[in-house]
Amino acid sequence: MTAPLRLSAGAIAAAVNGGETSAVAVMEETLARLAAYDAVQPQVWISRAAPENLLAQARAIDARVAAGEHLPLAGVPYAAKDNIDVAGFATTAACPAFAYQPGQSATVIARLEAAGAICVGKTNLDQFATGLVGTRSPHGAPRNASNLAYVSGGSSSGSAVAVAAGLVAFALGTDTAGSGRVPAAFNHLVGFKPTKGRWSTQGLVPACRSIDCITVFTDALADAQLVDSVVAGFDMADPFSRPLADMAITGKRIGVPRADQRVFFGDLQAEELYERALEVLGTQGELVEIDITPLLEAAQLLYGGPWVAERTAAVETLLRDNPDAIDPTVRSILEPGLAMSAVETWNGIYRLAALARHAEALWESVDALAFPTTGTTYRIAELAAAPVALNSNLGRYTNFVNLLDMAAVAVPAGARHNGTGFGITLIGPAHSDRALIAMAQDYLAAAQLPALPPLDTGDHMDTIKLAVVGAHLEGMPLHWQLTSRNAKFVGAFTTAPTYKLYAMAESVPPKPALVHSSDGGAAIALEVYELGLAEFGSFVAEVPPPLAIGTVTLADGTSVKGFVAEPRALDGAEDITHLGGWRAYIGGL
Burial class from Cβ neighbours inside 10 Å (0-12, 13-18, 19+) for residue 481 reads: middle
Measured in degrees and rounded to the nearest 5, phi and psi for residue 415 equal: -125, 145
Q: Is 146 a catalytic residue?
A: no
Q: Which of 54, 588, 163, 135 is nearest to 388 (CA)?
A: 135
Q: Which of 179, 241, 432, 559 is catalytic?
A: 179
Per the CB < 8 A criterion, the answer to whether 90 and 97 are in contact is: no
Which residue type does 575 have? Answer: D
Beta strand extents in 239-378 (DSSP E only): 253-257, 286-290, 368-372
Q: What are phi and psi of 223, to 5 degrees?
A: -70, -35
CA distance 471 to 485: 16
Which residues does residue 45 pair with via DSSP β-bridges, in sequence order?
123
Measured CA to CA, the distance from residue 467 to residue 551 in angstroms comes to 9
Residue 179: active-site member: yes
Q: Is 152 part of the annotated catalytic residue set?
A: no
CA gap 471, 58 in Å, rounded: 63
Query: If you ran DSSP here, which 8-state letter would residue 514 be given?
Result: E
Backbone angles phi, psi at 507, to 5 degrees: -105, 130
Side chain identity at residue 462, one-letter code: D
How many angstroms separate the CA atoms of 150 and 183, rounded? 11
Catalytic residue among 155, 157, 241, 432: 155
CA pair distance 250, 269, nearest whole angstrom = 33
Are 210 and 310 in contact by the 8 Å Cβ rule? The answer is: yes
Q: Catalytic residues, which ones?
A: 81, 155, 179
